Amino acid sequence: MVNTFGTLQFTTKICIANTGTVVGPVEKDSTFADSFDEVLSLETEKDETNEQAHARMIESACHWAAKKGHTQVDKVDVLIGGDLINQLSPTNFAARSLAIPYLGVFSACASSMESVILGCLLLESGNARTVLAGASSHHQAVERQFRYPLEYGTQKPKTSQWTVTGAGFSLLEKDLKNTPVVTHATIGKVVDSQQTNPLHMGAAMASAARDTIERHLTNTNSKMADFDVIMTGDLGNIGISILKEMFQDENTGVILQDAGAQFYGNDKFFNAGGSGAGCSAVVFFGQIYDQLKKGSFKRVLLVATGALLSPLTFQQGETIPCIAHAIECRMEKRG
C-alpha cells in the first residue's frame, strides 16, 4: 500500500551523503554531544540579535554538511529548511547568505523530516542532483516568541521541555555506496487530541506520532520488531511513556525511543527533556546517522513530531493540533 495514504516508497537510491550539526553551549553536556560537528561557545554574540545568531548557526550546519559530503554549498541544487520563528526569518536570512535555490517549510518541530521528505521527492523525480535538507531552533529566540522573556521568573512544571539550540542539515544525493539510504517516508496527518496545555506538548504530540507510525507500519507491511530503533523527535520523557502506553499491545521495549527525552540525560533542570525543530535534526543527523553509517543500526524509522500551536491560538483558547513526519532509513550491507 505504499504511495497511498501518505506513505511513499522511493524507487531510486536516495542517500544521505553526509550531515552537519551545530549546537549551542548548553548542548555541550548533552547525551549526544560526541556526535555534534560544532558546539558554539555563545548562543548569541554580543552585537547580534537572537535571530542573527540563529541564521548564522543554520549557515554553519549547511557548510559542515556540504564539506563532509565532499562538495560546497554553492554547488548544491536546492536548500530546504525550516525553523520555529515567525515567518521562518532565520532560515530565510541564512538562505540569503547561502544563495542557492530555497524552499522554506514549516511544521513546527517536525520540520526536519518534512524538509528531508521534500528533498527526497525532488531527487526521486530527477529534479535535483543534490539537496540540503534540515531544520533548526534557538532557545532564546523561541522562548521570547512562544513563552516569556528569558529573565522572567516562572515556575516551570515537570512536563515542560527545553528548546534545543541546534541546527541539523543533511546532504541528499543519489546512488552512493556505503551510505544510509532513505527507502520510505510517511507524510504526517494533523491530529488533535484535545490537549490545551502548551507546557505539556508531549501529551499533545503523542497521538500524531502514533498515527504516523501505525500508518507507516501498515502501509509497508512491517512490524516494530523489524526496526532497530523507532525514534520520535521531541515527545519528552512523559510524552514517550504516553506513546508506549498507546502501543501497549506491542512489545516496544528499547525500539521505541525519543530524542528529546534522552537529550539532556537525567538532569531534572530540563524537566521533560529537549524539544524544538533542532532537537530531532541534530540527533537524527548526528548520533543516529553515525550509527547507521557504522552499521550498528540497519533499519530505523525517524519520526519528527510537531505541535502546531501559536501564541495566538493559545490565547484564543484553542486546542493543540499536532503532526509527525517520518522517514525510514536503511544501511545497505557493506559490499
Partner 1 sequence: MISSLVTAFIVGGLICVVGQIFMDVFKLTPAHTLSTLVVLGSILDGFGLYEPLIDFAGAGATVPITSFGNSLTHGALAEAEKHGLIGVLTGMFEVTSSGISSAILFGVIGAFIFQKRKTTY
Partner 2 sequence: MDQQQFQKIVDEKNPKVPFFMNILKAFIVGGIICTIGQLITFFYMRFFPFTEGTAGNPTVATLVFIAMILTGTGLYKKIAQIGGAGSAVPVTGFGNAVISAAIEHKSEGYVLGVGGNMFKLAGSVILFGVLSAFVVALIKTILVNIGVVSW
Asked if 269 touches partner 1 (CB under 8 A), the answer is yes
* Non-local CB neighbours of 105 within 8 Å, separated by 6+ positions: 80, 81, 82, 111, 114, 115, 118
Using rule CB under 8 A, residue 150 touches partner 1: yes
Return the one option of partner 1, partner 2, none that residue 212 interacts with (CB less than 5 to 8 A, by type). none
Residues 6+ apart with CB under 8 A from 323: 107, 108, 110, 188, 189, 190, 191, 208, 305, 306, 308
Read off φ and ψ for residue 320, nearest 5 degrees: -110, 100
> Which DSSP string corresponds to 108-158?
TBTHHHHHHHHHHHHHHTTS-SEEEEEEEE-HHHHHHHHS--TT------T
Binding of partner 1 at residue 26 (CB under 8 A)? yes
Per the CB < 8 A criterion, the answer to whether 35 and 287 are in contact is yes
Residue 155 interacting with partner 1 (CB under 8 A): yes
321-331 and 299-307 beta bridge pairing: antiparallel
Distance CA 120, CA 243 (A): 28
Rule CB under 8 A: say whether 267 interacts with partner 2.
no
Q: Sign of the CA dihedral 240, 246, 247, 249?
A: positive
Q: Should residue 160 be labelled a site residue for partner 1 when binding is judged by CB under 8 A?
A: no
Q: Which does 159 bind (CB under 5 to 8 A by kind): partner 2, partner 1, none?
A: partner 2
Selected binder of partner 2 within 161, 186, 207, 275 (CB under 8 A): 207
Q: Is 74 in the site for partner 1 (CB under 8 A)?
A: no
* 24 sits near partner 1 (criterion: CB under 8 A): yes
* 184 near partner 1, judged by CB under 8 A: no
Instruction: Give whichever of 87 and 154 is closer to partner 1, judged by the CB atom.
Output: 154
Q: Could you say whether residue 45 binds partner 2 (CB under 8 A)?
A: no
In the complex, the residues that contact partner 1 under the rule CB under 8 A are: 24-26, 42-44, 46, 50, 139-140, 150-151, 154-155, 165, 269-270
In the complex, the residues that contact partner 2 under the rule CB under 8 A are: 49-50, 144, 148-159, 193-195, 200, 203, 207, 210, 238, 241-242, 245-246
